[in-house]
Structure 1
Amino acid sequence: MATVILVRHGRTTANATGLLAGRALGVDLDQVGREQAAQTADRLAAVPVVAVVSSPLERCQQTARLIIDRQAGTPYAPVDPDLTECDYGQWQGRSLSDLATENLWPVVQSQPAAVVFPAGESMAAMQARSVAAIRRHDAAFEAEHGPGAVWVAVSHGDVIKSILADALGMHLDLFQRINVGPASVSIVRYGPSRPSVYAMNTDAGDLSWLTNIVPAGDAPVGGGVGHNAL
């Protein structure tokens, strides 16, 4: 099994002003977001990654570039449109405070699997294409580099939440229980019988243990010894 590190982009100018950026062009990291992404890149510098796959939107590519620049090697760095932001349609560019008055808002909160954004994408379609992309890349990197391969996917909050929900075996209607902050790191390994979630929404801590992770078989009864014992 390869290991995927899911990284959300750092804070943007839209995040800071309460706007739903969606797929709008020209939405960059603000100063706080650049600092967040740089801190995440420093954490990942201890892990030689084979690839950094990014959403095509600027804020993700800016975050990915900081990660790549701090790697000792030169990871493969493709852009994958299947990791792009949800198409929020007519909601794009509007303030979150305004959107909270829409009839669709409580459905987004409690039943996201039923949501289709006006003139946009359904949340179920967002999850399906992003999970398929992660699993496709993961299988390819494992086939090329072996089960110890570690790679990074840089994407968006709702996209990463939907990927984590899938890995946890959660229905999409429950994915609002997951938080994914700017420049946060979450870690998943896909095994032959089930995915294993090693971390979610972390913004600090040593990641060097990922260089020595041992492919797991059955889940250890009682919790196992943990990665610090490697």
Structure 2
Amino acid sequence: MPTLLLVRHGRSTANAAGILAGWTPGVELDDTGRTQAGGLADRLAGIALAQAVSSPLERCRQTLEPLLAARPELGSAALDERLGECHYGDWTGRPLAELATEPLWRTVQDHAAAAAFPGGESLRELSHRTVTAVREWDEKIAAEHGPDAVWVACSHGDVIKAVLADALGLHLDHFQRISVEPCSVSVIRYTSRRPFVLRVGDTGSLASLAPRPDTRTPRGDAVVGGDTGTG
């Protein structure tokens, strides 16, 4: 099956201000975020991409702009609301330092599967919609571009952590153990047997992700003893 590059958007004005943005309109990348987005195209140079998909929120679309400009063959990114940020409800727009004093904060940190934001959605709902979205896109891209295709999706921190937790077989209660920095890339290769998590929150070179033939094991099986890398 194809390889998914999950990109967290670059640093936003809300990130820099310590505000929980959620679906607040008009939250854009700050100067650091724009620099990070510009570097993404270089980091993905040499990796053929079949499709770009994005959360509809501005900060994600802006993160992909330099990459799409460098890859005109991709056209524009397909927008999927299911990859949008968590609906934080009454928490939206509030300072994180203030939210950390709320009783719900500890539930979000320690028992995420039981956390539901007042006036918004639960983290279980977030996990269901986002995992469903990436798996559906992965199947569609496999059908259209073949099993060795690579595609990129730009989304948000909690979304990416929920998708990674599912791929790793982690209970949602443990998804806060995963860290994804702004403009980091996390990589999953889904197969008929299991997902392979190839990167988590990577902010460095991604050149080794270019598909390479490997006939030692059936597709979807892990290499016993460990992979040999690119050498």
- TM-score w.r.t. the length of structure 1 is 0.95
| Percentage of pairs with the same residue | 52
* CA–CA distance in structure 2, aligned partners of residues 151 and 106 of structure 1: 35
Residues 7-46 of structure 1 aligned to structure 2 (within 5 Å):
7-46=7-46
Matches within 5 A, 1:209-228: 209-212=209-212, 214=214, 216-226=219-229, 228=230
**In structure 2, do the counterparts of structure 1 residues 213 and 110 end up closer, same or farther at CA, with 3 Å as the change threshold?**
farther
**In structure 2, what is the equivalent of residue 110 of structure 1?**
110
What is the correspondence of 1:168-179 to structure 2 with a 5 Å cutoff?
168-179=168-179
User: Contact 2:194–2:220 at 8 Å: present in 1 too?
Assistant: no
Which secondary structure state, in structure 1, belongs to the residue aligned with residue 188 of structure 2?
A: strand
Corresponding residue SS for 2:86 = coil
Aligned equivalent of 2:161: 161
Give the secondary-structure state (helix, strand or coil) at the position aligned to 2:73: coil
Corresponding letter in the other structure for 1:191: T
Residue 189 of structure 2 is matched in structure 1 by 189
Moved over 6 A (4+): none
Q: Deviations over 1:142-172 (max 9, x none)?
A: 1111011100010000000000000000000
Alpha-carbon shift at residue 182 of structure 1 (Å) = 0.2
Cα RMSD (Å): 1.4
Residue 103 of structure 2: SS of its match in structure 1? coil
Q: Find the residue that maps to 1:125 and give its secondary structure.
A: helix
Residue aligned with 2:78, SS: coil
Matches within 5 A, 1:61-210: 61-71=61-71, 73-75=73-75, 77-207=77-207, 209-210=209-210
Instruction: Give how far 1:217 is off.
Output: 3.0
- Please identify, of 128-137 and 67-76, the stretch whose mean Cα deviation from structure 2 is larger: 67-76
Q: CA deviation at 1:75?
A: 4.6
The C-alpha deviation readout for 1:25-84, integer Å capped at 9, x for no partner, is 000000000001111221113212111100000000111222211226325621000000
Once the two structures are TM-superposed, the CA of residue 19 in structure 1 deviates from its matched residue by: 0.3
CA deviations 1:73-120 (Å, max 9, x no partner) are: 325621000000000000000000000000100000000110110000
Note the C-alpha offset of 1:209: 3.9
Counterparts of 1:129 and 1:189 in 2: how far apart (Å)?
Answer: 19
* Residue aligned with 1:32, SS: helix
Tell me the matched-pair count. Answer: 228
- SS of 2:79's equivalent in the other structure is coil
- Of the structure 1 ranges 65-74 and 12-21, higher mean CA displacement relative to structure 2 is found in 65-74
SS at 2:53 equivalent? strand
Unmatched tracts of structure 1, length 5 or more: none
